[in-house]
Amino acid sequence: MTLEELRASIRLPVIAAPMFLMSGPDLVIACCKAGVIGSFPSANARTAEDFEAWLQRIEQELADARAADPAAVIAPYAVNLIVRGAGEPRFVADLALIEQYQPPLVITSVGPPGEVVAKVHAYGGLVFHDVATLRHATKAAEQGVDGLILLTAGAGGHTGTANPFAFVPQARRQFDGALLLAGAISDGRGIRAAEALGADFAYMGTRFVATQESMAGPEYRDLLVGQKMMDVITTDRISGMSATFLRGSLERVGLDPANLPPTQGFLQPTIPEELKAWRDIWSGGHGVGQIDDIPTVAELVDRLEADYRAAG
């Protein structure tokens, strides 16, 4: 698949970001059927066998949808693969399954994506890589990726600090592949603004957690509706890396947002052992203040498209 073919295969220039513990087959399939790219982390499937079952289900349901309505815009899907050290068993197993099932798009994060790029390009797929700085953007480009996901200030989950008005045009100066803008995009006007800056796609996470098809539980969904931008706390003290978390989520497990225990170093938080980032302490980006309800994905995409067209 080429970038031009990818753009032509979707209803809106949107990728629903792969969110740890929140993105599963239901969300991916609903996104693709609605005409935007759905994605999930392979790590959300607890074993490689589960990952294969998810791939089989997604492939089959999307094929059935295309067969049932050849005129419908059924978007391709993406798999997020965390790049780990050479020989790490789960990474090796997941990469082998990606080679076997050939998802059109693979999103890489953390480690150097070169090995993944070679294998995905061999079957004709595309690779997009997470970056939070221009230095990392340069390194990823040198590894041959097709797109860069620019993590900017206010993005949910592990986040960046760069201002998008600076990051997008400066990344474009040194990279002619696809640029994806991540950070507080919650409506169709935000999608249009991302394009105006020079991005090719909007990368939306928090807004898609707050849908009926996500794996978020009732309490998390209620927080997404109730919290505002001022309730988003950026800290490395929960996961060991800079990430955004919801104030109400910290308070519900007995943590004081103003007095979090310090880390012992990179990836070494000192929160109580029984608490886990993402599972017990929930994330949200600055766009959370624009979330007022929990629609279906189809309803959300209809709204996004209406706003996007009106903003044009």
Measured CA to CA, the distance from residue 287 to residue 235 in angstroms comes to 17
Summarised one tens digit per residue, pLDDT across range 175-228 is 999 999 999 999 999 999 999 999 999 999 999 999 999 999 999 999 999 999
Three-state secondary-structure class, residue 107: strand
Measured CA to CA, the distance from residue 18 to residue 266 in angstroms comes to 23
Kindly list the domain boundaries of the chain, sorted by start residue: 3-215+292-310, 228-283
Can you read off the two tokens belonging to residue 273? 């052992």
Cβ atoms of 108 and 145 closer than 8 Å: yes
Q: How many other CB atoms sit within 10 Å of the CB of residue 70?
A: 7
Q: Which residues of 235-254 are buried (b: 16+ CB within 10 A; e: fewer)?
A: bbbbbbbbbbbbbbbbeeee
Predicted confidence at residue 84, as pLDDT, reads: 85
* Residues facing 39 on adjacent strands: 78
CA distances from 180 to 68, 114, 118, 295, 312 (A): 31, 19, 21, 24, 19
pLDDT means per 10 residues in the chain (312 residues)?
A: 93 97 98 98 97 98 98 97 88 97 97 96 98 96 98 94 97 97 97 97 98 97 97 93 95 95 78 92 97 98 98 88
Three-state secondary-structure class, residue 283: coil
Three-state secondary-structure class, residue 156: coil
Three-state secondary-structure class, residue 204: strand
Cβ atoms of 109 and 80 closer than 8 Å: yes
Rg over CA atoms, the chain:
18
Measured CA to CA, the distance from residue 186 to residue 165 in angstroms comes to 17
Measured CA to CA, the distance from residue 75 to residue 25 in angstroms comes to 14
* Residues facing 151 on adjacent strands: 182
Predicted confidence at residue 155, as pLDDT, reads: 95
Predicted confidence at residue 198, as pLDDT, reads: 97
Superfamily name with CATH number, domain 3-215+292-310: Aldolase class I (3.20.20.70)
